[in-house]
Amino acid sequence: MDRSPPETRTSRRRLRACHECDWLVALPPLHPGEKADCPRCGHTLASRHFRPAQRSMALALAALVALSLAISFPFVSFSVSGVGNRIELSQTATTLIGFDQPLVAIAVLLTIAVLPAVYLSGVIWLQFGLMRQAPLPASRSIARSLAHLHPWMMADVFIIGALVSLIKVAGMAEIELGIAFWAFCAFALLLLFTTQSLDADWMWFSLAGEPLAPEGARTGEPASPQGLAGCATCGLVNRLDHRGYGRCRRCGESLHARLPHSLQRTWALLAAAAVMYVPANLYPIMTTTSLGHASPSTIIGGVVQLAQMGSWPVAAVIFVASVIVPVGKLVALAWLCLVVKHSDELNAATRTRLYRLTEFIGRWSMVDVFVVAILVALIRAGALMSITPGPAALAFGAVVISTMLAAMSFDPRLLWDPSLPRESRSASAAKGQGSPR
């Protein structure tokens, strides 16, 4: 039988510090289908689901079955002038190794199959133990890992890349979708439902209970000035030491009043992404050989080619994912880093929403990398028609990963910290200049 919600198993207040604005609140009693949002910035603090263990476990099992089918059967095939090729899902990664693109191959394989399989296995392990009311070994470590794996699973993005690839090939050859294609579509959908079905608040309470809140904690105020911090993994509010550091009493995660060197790390990753974005656009991302004639194509060149073929919707998808999203994310994160010291509560909410948007859309830029992986594996007909990856594939993949890491390194709570008055800033600067090095 499923355990009851945390609200029915304790009469104590359960405090949470918002991960985006640092506002300290007490969670209200939640019923299935309800959620608790931060009253200051609107960030969701907890969501309650009906029978969370059974729900997540059933979806995870179904997703693993769908993934097994997607790996075991043919994915897609094409034929042109009596010559064709048929590929399996794993070949979208392994074929790249033969073209000296091992890093791109590893990224593709990890994001579409390996990490989702590990995530789903972890969910099943956790929920099976909770349904038995006896957590299995290493449950806390696995529960911590789930939160870190979530951003790097891109099965849904791969589906968009597959559709774009098929539309590009449909005008040149006959396409046949295999059982694995439909199985992978089902897998991507079930994986999305599984991640949304996890009730982290219920799961951590069932795994390890909830220690008493630190004495003297005052709700309706920021947590950091009180020497408190909320764990980003399990949500528990903990007291920090005099340096602003600590470790969560429930899950063991490292805690900080603010992410150490958040702005410096974000700037460094943004600079790396900006540098890599230049070769990603100057060099060809793939080369198409047709009847012995090789035609290299850059990202922008591919968009123009699709538009000329009349595939305006697909051209728009590639242009948005490969040009507007990376550039927009670089500009947005750089602007947020610049305005941190001049932010106040009046504009912090708008800037936090911009941060959420940049964090959400970053992974969708991987569409172009997946398109290259699928086409390189599928279009293998010798001099008649073949596609090989270009050096821009690795550069563009590095851009996507760097911008994702930059968004993770940025601490949105800095947007809500009160800025010093201009006179205080001038005095601090003068004091810093006059102090010995």
pLDDT of residue 420: 46
pLDDT at 403 over 70: yes
Please state the rounded mean pLDDT for residues 372-378.
89
CA distance 330 to 388: 29
Mean pLDDT of 2-20: 74
Q: Determine the Cα–Cα distance for residues 184 and 90; give it in Å rounded to an integer.
A: 12
What pLDDT, on a 0 to 100 scale, did the predictor assign at position 436?
39
Q: Which residue has the tokens 């304790």?
A: 10
- Could you tell me what percent of the chain has a pLDDT over 70? 91
Token reading at 177: 């979708």
Whole-model pTM? 0.88
Q: Which domains, and CATH codes, for the chain?
A: 261-418 (1.20.140)
pLDDT of 430 > 60? The answer is no
Query: Does position 437 have pLDDT exceeding 70, yes or no?
Result: no
Taking CA atoms, 410 is separated from 21, 337, 341, 400, in Å, by: 13, 8, 14, 16
The residue that leads in pLDDT, 247 or 84, is 247
pLDDT at 1 over 50: no
347-383 core/surface letters (b: 16 or more CB in 10 A; e: else): ebeebbeebbebbebbbbbbbbbbbbbbbbbbbbbee
Q: Cα–Cα distance between 434 and 437 in angstroms, integer?
A: 9
Which residues are registered as beta bridge partners of 386? 289, 380
CA dist., res. 176 & res. 86, Å (int): 9
- The whole-chain average pLDDT of the chain stands at 86
Ramachandran assignment for 209, one of left (phi > 0), alpha (psi -120 to 50 degrees), beta (any other): left
Q: What is the largest CA-CA distance in the chain?
A: 80
Tokens of 174: 């006959």
Give 292-334 pLDDT, tens digit per residue. 677 888 888 888 877 877 778 878 888 888 889 999 999 999 9
Q: What confidence tens digit (pLDDT) does each residue in 154-198 have?
A: 999 999 999 888 887 777 778 889 999 999 999 999 999 999 999
List C-alpha distances in Å: 59 to 145, 238, 240, 272, 393. 19, 33, 38, 38, 34
Q: How does pLDDT run across 114-165, given as a tens digit for each residue?
A: 999 999 999 999 999 988 888 889 999 999 999 899 999 999 999 999 988 8
Provide the 10 A C-beta neighbour count for residue 170.
12
Which strands make up the sheet holding 385-389, listed edge to edge? Answer: 293-297, 286-290, 385-389, 380-381
Look at 111-115, 129-133, 366-370 and tell me which has the smallest mean pLDDT: 129-133
* Residue of 27, 18, 11 whose CA lies nearest to 221: 18
- Residue 396 CA to residue 393 CA, distance in Å, equals 5
Q: What is the pLDDT of residues 346-360, one digit of tens each?
A: 788 899 999 999 988
